[in-house]
């Protein structure tokens, strides 16, 4: 649990599952299809997924879950993954990552939050660590934006192709889950390309939190700018970014267009 001095007081729980259960099988895919990317989203779906509920006893009964199918691989030029370095950079955008609890393998349990500098997210090596970290990033974003008191997840690996993973994560709001998935993968690809993380990415999360209270405010960029202390032009750009990351829809940004289409039908 998070200590009482924490401002957010959110209990993040995570359980990691990789090698000791029956893995899903699928046909090998052409490796050239990756086109040099560190990771790509294969599919996003939602459901109860009762077949995996037993893998994490902290999953709430019949809770809605995000299923993210993810391909992750290590480029030839990178012989190893500097997990502490990546984790340290991500904390600038997601500072509450330090509050997560993590368990590896078939064993599970809760871990007391401490102020140790070491990452609380467990490592097992290779691309598995990247997929696992993506799960934690999504958990962090979902819990923070949609005010979830707890959020649990699990990462499952495939036998073939070995670079593919299924991430199952509880969710409260599908649009938040989509945003968290797309944004997390973007950030990780960004880091692996050698680029630094812009402060505007932190602002993007702040805007997602702000709009979660009242999504209709996207039509009032002047009010958002005033409330968040931003310029109106800067606010409009961040709103467009939320559209690109699937948090918002075109109909929400242009409701008049959707009304016109409905009349024409």
Range of the domain at 74: 11-194
Q: What pLDDT is stored for residue 254 in this prediction?
A: 85
Q: What pLDDT is stored for residue 77 in this prediction?
A: 62
Residue 222 and residue 143 in one domain = no
Query: Is 158 domain-assigned?
Result: yes
DSSP secondary structure, 67-102, as one string: EEEEEE---TT--S--HHHHHHHHTTT-GGGGG--E
Q: What pLDDT is stored for residue 78 in this prediction?
A: 62
| Counted domains in the chain | 2
Q: What pLDDT is stored for residue 62 in this prediction?
A: 92
Query: Is 4 domain-assigned?
Result: no
Domain end residue (candidates: 161, 194, 227) = 194
Residue 88 and residue 49 in one domain = yes
Query: Is 236 domain-assigned?
Result: yes
pTM score of the predicted model: 0.79
Please give the Cα distance from 49 to 186 (Å, whole number): 26
Residue 146 and residue 69 in one domain = yes
Q: What pLDDT is stored for residue 118 in this prediction?
A: 53
Query: Is 29 domain-assigned?
Result: yes
Residue 126 and residue 203 in one domain = no
Listed residue (37, 122, 126, 39) closest to 81, CA to CA: 126
Q: What pLDDT is stored for residue 98 in this prediction?
A: 79
Q: What pLDDT is stored for residue 24 in this prediction?
A: 41
Query: Is 2 domain-assigned?
Result: no
Phi–psi pair at 197, nearest 5 degrees: -90, 120
Q: What pLDDT is stored for residue 76 in this prediction?
A: 64
Q: What pLDDT is stored for residue 115 in this prediction?
A: 42
Cβ proximity of 139 and 153 under 8 Å: yes
Mean per-residue pLDDT pooled into runs of 10, the chain (265 residues):
26 37 38 57 97 89 96 72 82 84 45 42 76 92 92 91 93 97 95 88 97 94 97 97 96 67 45
CB atoms within 10 A of CB 81: 18
Residue 97 and residue 120 in one domain = yes
Find tokens 């829809």 and name the residue. 249
Query: Is 265 domain-assigned?
Result: yes
Residue 153 and residue 248 in one domain = no
Residue 180 and residue 202 in one domain = no
């Amino acid at each position: 649990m998070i200590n009482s001095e924490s401002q957010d007081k959110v209990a993040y729980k995570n359980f990691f599952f990789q090698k000791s259960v029956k893995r899903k099988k699928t046909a090998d895919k052409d490796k050239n299809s990756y086109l040099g990317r560190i990771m790509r989203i294969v599919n996003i779906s939602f459901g109860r997924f009762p077949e995996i509920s037993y893998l994490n006893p902290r999953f709430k009964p019949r809770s809605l879950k995000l299923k993210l199918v993810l391909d992750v691989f290590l480029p030839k030029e990178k012989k190893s993954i500097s997990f502490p370095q990546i984790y340290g950079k991500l904390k600038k955008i997601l500072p509450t990552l330090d509050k997560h609890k993590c368990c590896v393998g078939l064993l599970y349990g809760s871990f007391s939050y401490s102020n140790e500098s070491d990452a609380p997210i467990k490592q097992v090596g290779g691309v598995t660590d990247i997929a696992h970290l993506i799960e934690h990033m999504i958990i962090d974003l979902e819990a923070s934006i949609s005010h979830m008191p707890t959020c649990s997840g699990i990462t499952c690996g495939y036998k073939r192709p070995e670079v593919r993973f299924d991430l199952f994560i509880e969710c409260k709001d599908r649009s938040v889950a989509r945003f968290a998935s797309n944004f997390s993968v973007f950030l990780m690809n960004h880091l692996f390309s050698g680029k630094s993380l812009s402060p505007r990415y932190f602002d993007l999360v702040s805007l997602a939190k702000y709009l979660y209270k009242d999504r209709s405010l996207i039509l009032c960029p002047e009010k958002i700018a005033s409330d968040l202390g931003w310029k109106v032009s800067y606010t409009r750009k961040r709103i467009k970014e939320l559209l690109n990351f699937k948090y918002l829809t075109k109909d929400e940004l242009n409701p008049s267009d959707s009304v016109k289409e409905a009349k024409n039908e």
